[in-house]
Amino acid sequence: MADKMQICNISENNFEQCTKCSICTTVCPVAAVTTDYPGPKQAGPDGERYRLKDPAYYDKMLKLCLNCKRCEVACPSGVHIADIIQSARMKAGEGKRASLRDTMLANTDLLGMVANKVAPLANATLGLAPTKLVMHSVMAIDKHRTFPAYSRTKFETWFKRHAQSRQDAYPKHVSYFHGCYVNYNFPKLGQDLVKLMNAMGYGVHLLDKEQCCGVALIANGLYKQAKRQGRVNAASIRQTVNTDHRTVLTTSSSCTFNLRDEYPAILGIDTRDVRDNIMLATRFIYRLIDEEKVKLVFKKDYQRRIAYHTACHMQRMGWQLYSIELLRMIPGLDLQELEQECCGISGTYGFKKENYERSQAIGSVLFKHIADAQVEAVATDCETCKWQIEMSTGLPVENPISILADALDVEATRQANGL
């Protein structure tokens, strides 16, 4: 009887567990800079009580939520505050008529595909003052933003031309969910992963079909499309895990979080059966080293001072430890972990004209910490944090995988792993 009562008392998003302690309100980056947003407690568990009575209580300002999950990380009672807010937005039918701008920003792969074909032109055009002005006024994409440069060759194209044929020869294998950013903007990160895994004796393989994970679609309220793409990804992942018995590696914290946790929690795509087989490459590599299955040998002359920034979704997953501890293995690397603050970009949020100032205000705390740390570069596992921090601090921002690949003594590592 007692057991049953406990279970009956727990709702889907356990909002009734809220003790009204208000701790979440102290960490919300949006409430910190604008009074338009009611804050996590009000938008989440408190508002939910009203919305359950009558959906008319839905507050349009919930669209300002970044879905950064910082409130959930802070809540001592385990309330899924941000999930409550996202579900409420979804129920209220937000995004049914998304604007051209939101659709364009959300479709990172579509935008990438077009821009990619005309990369030099796109980079020049997206960077031109007149284009920026048109985007600012017509499309409402903020003129201060520099679009991430598009690469001329997609990662997938490079991989098929230059790497794929060699992969089967390795004794062990992994699959790689590269994500839109690696494919269209920054193939080097994918190439670095291939270099690193190959040196440890692992062949790298693409998924049968990979589509954009949809993190931007969810943020822009395009839930239907996110679900469609999510199902394709889930099927491909399931196939490689169950048939090829391969772990699926990622190099973006947001893609990882989305595939593992947002698919079931928000999109209703149950990926729990393969959840443990989807992971950031840093976690996979750390485990191999920890279990003494592989060795990494680093260059003797590598000398750098770098600060590590924990992206919001990384903090939510709780995996920054792996990236940090791997970087600390590089002998010449002086690593300082930064206080965990939101950079303010939150995917496509900061690209929108109406959010630009808020986005920069949110990030200012982090930018100050970075300036104080006196480093030559910043490491982070999220690509949109990279754009924001590079634009706002002028420092280069690199993925831990790229730093590891850069510091790696490839020949010595191959030998150490018996290749």
Partner 1 sequence: MRMDTVIMGGGLSALTCGIALAKRGQRVAIVASGQSTLLFNGGSMELLGCVDGKAVTSPLEAIAALPAEHPYSKLGADRISELASEAHSLLTDAGIVMEGKADANHWRITPIGVAKPAWLTLSSHFSIDSLGELPCKRLALMCIRGFFDQPNGMLAEGLKGLGFEVDKLEFTTDEITALRRSPSEMRANSLAKRLVSNASLQRVADEINRLAADADMVLFPSVLADEDVIQTLKSMVKKPLRLVATLPPAVSGNRMQALLRHYFRMLGGNYLMGDTVVSGTLEGDRLTSVTTAKLGDMPLRADNFVLATGSFVSKGLVADYGRVYEPILDLDVDADADREQWTRFGVLEPQAYSRYGVKTDAGLHCLKQGKPIQNLRAIGSVLSGHDAIKMGDGTGVSLLTALAAAQSILATK
Per CB under 8 A, residues contacting partner 1 are: 2, 5-6, 21-23, 25-27, 31-33, 35-39, 41-42, 46, 72-78, 276, 283, 286-287, 290, 315-319, 321, 324-325, 336-337, 339-340
Closest-CA residue to 40 (of 9, 73, 12, 8): 73
Q: Among residue numbers 352 through 371, which ones bind ligand SF4 (CB under 6 A)?
A: none
Report the helix count and the strand count for the chain, using DSSP H and E. Answer: 23, 8
Return the one option of partner 1, ligand SF4, none that residue 419 interacts with (CB less than 5 to 8 A, by type).
none
Count the site residues for ligand SF4 by CB under 6 A.
27
- Least distance from partner 1 to the Cβ atom of residue 259, Å: 15
DSSP annotation of 146 reads P
Helix axes 383-393, 356-373, angle to 10 degrees: 80
Using the rule CB under 6 A, is 18 a contact of ligand SF4?
yes
Using the rule CB under 6 A, is 313 a contact of ligand SF4?
no
- Distance (Å, whole) CA 139 – CA 126: 13
Return the one option of partner 1, ligand SF4, none that residue 82 interacts with (CB less than 5 to 8 A, by type).
ligand SF4
- Least distance from ligand SF4 to the Cβ atom of residue 147, Å: 24
Using the rule CB under 6 A, is 80 a contact of ligand SF4?
no
Q: What are phi and psi of 204, to 5 degrees?
A: -110, 140
The edge-to-edge listing of strands for the beta sheet with 202-206 is 202-206, 172-177, 248-250, 278-280
Using the rule CB under 6 A, is 407 a contact of ligand SF4?
no
Using the rule CB under 6 A, is 30 a contact of ligand SF4?
yes
42 versus 239: smaller Cβ distance to partner 1: 42
Return the one option of ligand SF4, partner 1, none that residue 65 interacts with (CB less than 5 to 8 A, by type).
ligand SF4
Task: Say whether 139 sits in a helix, a strand or coil.
Answer: helix
Q: Among residue numbers 330 through 349, which ones bind ligand SF4 (CB under 6 A)?
A: none
Q: Which two tokens stand for residue 82?
A: 């941000």
* DSSP code per residue over 261-294: IIIIIII----TTTGGGEEEHHHHHHHHHHTTS-
Stretch that binds ligand SF4, among 14-22, 166-174, 301-309, 374-382 (CB under 6 A): 14-22
Q: How far is CA 198 from CA 84, 245, 273, 328, in A?
A: 42, 18, 28, 21
Q: How far is CA 23 from CA 16, 71, 73, 76, 229, in A?
A: 16, 8, 10, 8, 36
Return the one option of ligand SF4, partner 1, none that residue 218 interacts with (CB less than 5 to 8 A, by type).
none
Residue 386 identity (one-letter amino acid): K
Stretch that binds ligand SF4, among 26-34, 129-137, 258-266, 387-395 (CB under 6 A): 26-34
68 versus 401: smaller Cβ distance to ligand SF4: 68
Q: Cα 77 vs. chain centroid, distance in angstroms?
A: 25
- Least distance from partner 1 to the Cβ atom of residue 72, Å: 7
For 137, other C-beta atoms within 10 Å of its C-beta total: 11
Using the rule CB under 6 A, is 278 a contact of ligand SF4?
no
DSSP annotation of 151 reads P
- Least distance from partner 1 to the Cβ atom of residue 80, Å: 12
- Distance (Å, whole) CA 140 – CA 351: 9
- Least distance from ligand SF4 to the Cβ atom of residue 301, Å: 42
For 117, other C-beta atoms within 10 Å of its C-beta total: 12
Return the one option of ligand SF4, partner 1, none that residue 332 interacts with (CB less than 5 to 8 A, by type).
none
- Least distance from partner 1 to the Cβ atom of residue 23, Å: 5
End-to-end CA distance of the chain: 61
- Distance (Å, whole) CA 180 – CA 6: 43
* DSSP code per residue over 81-115: HHHHHHHHHHHTTTTTT--HHHHHHH-HHHHHHHH
Return the one option of partner 1, ligand SF4, none that residue 140 interacts with (CB less than 5 to 8 A, by type).
none
- Least distance from partner 1 to the Cβ atom of residue 91, Å: 22
- Least distance from partner 1 to the Cβ atom of residue 406, Å: 23
- Least distance from ligand SF4 to the Cβ atom of residue 169, Å: 45
- Least distance from partner 1 to the Cβ atom of residue 175, Å: 19
Residues that bind ligand SF4 (CB under 6 A): 18-24, 28-30, 40-41, 43, 45, 65-71, 75, 77, 79, 81-82, 85
